[in-house]
Amino acid sequence: MTGRRSPHWLLFLGLAAAVVAADQASKAWITGRIEPGDVIEVAGDWIRLIVTWNTGGLFGLFQSNAAVFAAFSVAVMVLIVVVNGRTAPGRYLSVTLGFLLGGAVGNFIDRIALGHVTDWVDIGVGTWRFYTFNVADMGITSGIAILAADALHLGRRRDRTARDAHE
């Protein structure tokens, strides 16, 4: 036995499936109730529901390129699965990768089925608005935030270890 940890496939795939299910269900629910362009205020002007179609990529960049982003999504999804299998991550990394895979799959389904990604959460104040997003985007953002927090934590731990070694 090498002592290598095994990938947490059930956790990884279960979380990815949960993100995809929540994403697709929320998009079906919202598009069944709100016409594109209609705005429903949830928390005043701060949080609104509004259906938009993104034919581009992150933050609406590169519009009318859904097919390109669909192909890119396939590569990213394969990479995420390979990383989960080859690095034998602990639960922490499997959760991170599960969020990322679920978000990538959720938006990929839209790009293939609809030719665009359905976004519907709008946050901001007055004319200052953040980019409209969806549950898949929340999964991707959560995964990135966990990776960033982990990187900061590892950096601090390495600094402490190096400092302790020199004392």
Annotated catalytic, 150? no
The length of the chain in residues reads: 167
Burial classification of residue 33, based on how many CB atoms lie within 10 Å of its CB (0-12 exposed, 13-18 middle, 19 or more buried): exposed
Annotated catalytic, 137? yes
Query: Helix H segments across the chain?
Result: 9-31, 66-86, 91-114, 135-166
Question: Of the candidates 105, 80, 106, which has an alpha carbon nearest to the alpha carbon of residue 7?
Answer: 80
The residue annotated as part of the active site, out of 23, 110, 119, 122, is: 119
3 state DSSP class of 60? helix
Contact present, 65 and 55 (Cβ < 8 Å):
yes
Question: Would you state the structure tokens that stand for residue 97, as one six-digit string?
Answer: 């990768």
The residue annotated as part of the active site, out of 23, 110, 122, 137, is: 137
| Residues catalogued as catalytic | 119, 137
